[in-house]
Structures are given as C-alpha cells and as structure tokens.
C-alpha cells in the first residue's frame, strides 16, 4: 500500500561490485552440492515531498522503508559435467507511510500507515560450459496486506566459444491480485466505515528481455538490452484521489492495458588496473505517452588490493503520460485521470558513493565473510521529491 518511487528503489537495490574476481579449477569439478556464496543485503530508505496522489496531488509523501534480503547460491556438476546452479532468496521490508495513512484520515493511525512485505524467490539453471548453453527457470512470490504477486519465468543464454560474446533471453510473467481499497469517503456500505472484506482485482504483466554482450578488447566491453513489457488488468491505484476542477471527487482511473519498450546500452571501460568506467543509457517509451531517458556513470577506483571506492551519478528525464494533470486540473468529462507525480513530467538526479572491502583474510578477520560493501545515495527531482538511502552488502563464501 506504500507510495514511493519504484525507479529510485530499483536503482539503489542493485549492489554493484567494483572489482570482482572469480577462479575455477578446470582440472576438478565437484560432483557434490556446494555453497557457492551467501549474500546478505540490508538498507534504509527515506523520502519526503508534497505531491501525494493519496490526497489528490497535494500533501506529504513522507515514507521510511527498511529492507533486508538473504540469498543462498548452490552449485554442483553432474556426471556429464553439466553445471547445476540453484539460488534461493528471501526478502522482507517494512515501511511507514504518512501519505498512505490519509486513505482514512479520520483514524488516529490506520493500518495503512505501515505494512510489511515478504517476497521469496528461487531459480534453477543448467549450464553446458563446453557448448556455451544455459537454461533456467525461476519462480517468485510477494505478499503484503493489499497486494499479492506470483511470478514465473524461463531463461536461455548462449556464449561464444571464445567467451567474448553472449546472447540471453528471459521470458517472465507476473499474476497479481490487489485489494481495491478506496478512500474512505468514496466507499459504499457500512455508512462509509472501514471495511474488512475489500473487493479484489487482477493485474498481469508479461515481459521478454533480450541482451547481447560483446568484449571488444581487453579494456572495452558493451551490452545491448531490449525489453518488451505488456500489462493488463487494474493498472491504477484505487486509493489515489482525484479532485476535479468543478469540485467533484473520484479515485484514479487509468487504461487497463499498457505496453512498454525500454532499450539500453552499457559500456564498461577498464582504464588500467585501478579504474573502471561503467556507463549506461536507456530510452523508454510506452503507449500511455510517457517517454524517458536515463544516463548513468559509475567509476570504481581501486585504492589498494582489497579496498575500492565507487562514486556514481544518474540523470533521468521523462514526459508526462497523457492522463496526468495536477490538483484540481482534471475535468469531469475525461475518461482517464491521475494526479500521481510519478507519471508527470520531471527531471531527477542521483549521486552517491560506495566503498567495497575484500581483504584476503576476510572481513573482520573472518574467512567466511568475503566482501563488505556500503553504498549511500541521494535522489532529488524537480517536483520537490527527495530521498536518501544507505545499504550494506555482506558476501559470505
């Protein structure tokens, strides 16, 4: 039930390793199940602003979120020297939201002011290293008070004989169910009191993701990325209020289908033994009329054999969807309408830094803690929304 910028969370939640190393002894491949690595990631996110769609495009957007994920990776080789990899992940996050509490402003502190989301997932991949083929399946589940999501997908990857090129394809589907929780004054029955049994609606998303990676030389690598995403069902947020220019009030209404096309390119340049330049650009367009551009740069710098620092910057710009208007600017004759500033025209920037420790004797002199990484970032956009996040990643082997 939270209201926060998913683009911001998505950008931060990817903990990038500044300098990663891998080693595998080709003379021996274990036929028993091994723990490849364990990743523990935790973070704190806080945002504030004054354009909450819960109160019609005005009002506080203050929100705090605590998120933690634990990932376990296992692998083994079978009798045919095929590599089997299994990954299990459990995520839990808890948020408090001042804007969501305004769904029913008559309560001192309603249930919508806070919630906990639990999201387990699992994947299984079989790789033929001799032929360069990999096949995988995955499944995921997410639950919070007003939203449930069930996801499943398949993947395929093909690597060239010299390991300089790779093509990958992922097909993913999410079948979601949400409770249609309206603002308290728009509810019918029970004299407008808080209901326990809310009606439900479905939302389904299907995507195909394709990527092509190429090693140009020892210093330069690039990747091309293409996603095709189709959504259908209840795509609005039921508790977002709309105050029309004539004083009438309704809740948000958006089309029941949406088609998205993001196209991106990554270029990594290794400028010697101590500096890496990671650049990324993405163009996005959908049939709601939103067009966006994203550009980011990260520069990991190796200060010593086991310490690196990674400053990063991201710039983002988007146009508004066809159905957006600010507070009291919609007319009652419109078919679709939203005052959600995430769908408005704005520019944003994110700047931050990460530090990564990977000492040969292990972090805190523990041979089981291979890597520690801390990242901090600040996000701001032209409509006044701003946020901060700090995250910690521990890798155990």
How far is the C-alpha of 4 from the C-alpha of 12, rounded, in Å? 13
**Contact by Cβ (8 Å): 30, 82:** no
List, for residues 278-290, the tens digit of each pLDDT value: 999 999 999 999 9
Q: How far is CA 151 from the centre of its chain?
A: 15
87-101: average pLDDT: 88
256-262: average pLDDT: 98
Flag whether 223 is in a domain: yes
118-134: average pLDDT: 96
- pLDDT greater than 90 at residue 89: yes
**CA nearest to 226, candidates 173, 287, 285:** 285
How far is the C-alpha of 1 from the C-alpha of 118, rounded, in Å? 13
- pLDDT greater than 90 at residue 107: no
Flag whether 187 is in a domain: yes
Mean pLDDT of the chain: 89
- What per-residue confidence (pLDDT) applies to 25? 43
- What per-residue confidence (pLDDT) applies to 169? 98
Residues 6+ apart with CB under 8 A from 305: 360
- pLDDT greater than 60 at residue 6: no
- The domain of 89 spans 70-93+113-355
- What per-residue confidence (pLDDT) applies to 366? 82
Q: How far is CA 215 from the centre of its chain?
A: 27
The domain that contains 154 carries what CATH number?
A: 2.40.170.20
- pLDDT greater than 90 at residue 98: no
Q: Domain total for the chain?
A: 1
Q: Which helix (H) or strand (E) holds 9?
A: helix 6-13
Flag whether 189 is in a domain: yes
**Contact by Cβ (8 Å): 60, 46:** no
Torsion of CA 305, 213, 11, 394, to 10 degrees: -40
How far is the C-alpha of 171 from the C-alpha of 210, rounded, in Å? 9
- pLDDT greater than 90 at residue 104: no
How far is the C-alpha of 342 from the C-alpha of 52, rounded, in Å? 10
Flag whether 30 is in a domain: no
Give the 3-state secondary structure of 272-331: CCCEEEEEEEEEEEECCCCEEEEEEEECCEECCCCEEEEEEEEEEEECCCCCECCCCCCC
List, for residues 32-69, the tens digit of each pLDDT value: 889 999 999 999 999 999 999 999 999 999 999 999 99
**Contact by Cβ (8 Å): 355, 308:** yes
- What per-residue confidence (pLDDT) applies to 106? 64
Torsion of CA 61, 347, 16, 213, to 10 degrees: 140
Binned at pLDDT 50, 70 and 90, residue 23 comes out as very low
Flag whether 360 is in a domain: no
Angle subtended at Cα 36 by Cα 30 and Cα 37, rounded to the nearest 5 degrees: 165
Flag whether 20 is in a domain: no
Flag whether 31 is in a domain: no
Q: How far is CA 283 from the centre of its chain?
A: 17
Query: Who wins on pLDDT, 7 or 70?
Result: 70
- What per-residue confidence (pLDDT) applies to 273? 86
- pLDDT greater than 70 at residue 11: no
List, for residues 302-340, the tens digit of each pLDDT value: 999 899 999 999 999 999 999 999 999 999 999 999 999
Flag whether 185 is in a domain: yes
């Amino acid at each position: 039930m939270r209201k926060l910028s998913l683009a911001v969370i998505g950008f931060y939640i990817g903990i990038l390793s500044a300098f990663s190393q891998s080693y595998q002894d080709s003379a021996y491949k274990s036929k028993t199940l091994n723990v490849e690595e364990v990743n523990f990631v935790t973070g704190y996110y806080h945002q504030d602003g004054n354009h909450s769609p819960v109160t019609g495009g005005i009002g506080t957007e203050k929100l705090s979120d605590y998120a933690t994920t634990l990932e376990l990776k296992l692998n083994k080789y079978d009798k045919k020297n095929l590599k089997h990899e299994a990954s299990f992940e459990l995520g839990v996050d808890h948020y408090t939201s001042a804007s969501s509490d305004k769904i029913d402003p008559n309560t001192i502190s309603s249930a919508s002011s806070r919630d906990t989301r639990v999201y387990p997932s699992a994947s299984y991949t079989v790789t033929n290293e001799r032929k360069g083929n990999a096949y995988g399946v995955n499944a995921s589940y997410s639950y919070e008070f007003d939203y449930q999501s069930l996801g499943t997908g398949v993947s395929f990857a093909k690597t060239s004989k010299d390991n300089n090129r790779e093509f990958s394809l992922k097909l993913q589907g999410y079948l979601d169910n949400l409770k249609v929780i309206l603002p308290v004054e728009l509810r019918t029955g029970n004299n407008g009191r808080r209901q326990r049994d809310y009606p439900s609606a479905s939302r389904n998303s299907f995507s195909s993701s394709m990527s092509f990676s190429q090693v140009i030389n020892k210093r330069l690598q690039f990747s091309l990325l293409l996603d095709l995403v189709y959504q259908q069902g209840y795509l609005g947020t039921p508790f977002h209020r709309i105050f029309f220019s004539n004083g009438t009030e309704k809740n948000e209404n958006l089309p029941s289908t949406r088609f998205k096309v993001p196209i991106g390119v990554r270029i990594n340049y290794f400028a010697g033994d101590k500096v890496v330049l990671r650049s990324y650009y993405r163009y996005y367009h959908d049939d709601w009329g939103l067009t966006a551009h994203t550009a980011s740069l990260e520069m990991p710098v190796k200060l010593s054999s086991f310490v690196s620092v990674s400053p990063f910057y991201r710039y983002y710009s988007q146009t508004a969807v066809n159905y957006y208007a600010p507070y009291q600017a919609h007319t009652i004759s419109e078919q679709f309408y939203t005052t959600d500033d995430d769908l408005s025209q704005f520019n944003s920037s994110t700047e931050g830094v990460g530090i990564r420790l990977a000492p040969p004797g292990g972090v805190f002199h523990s041979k089981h803690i291979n890597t520690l990484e801390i990242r901090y970032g600040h996000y701001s956009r032209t409509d006044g929304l701003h946020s901060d996040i700090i995250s910690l990643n521990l890798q155990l082997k």
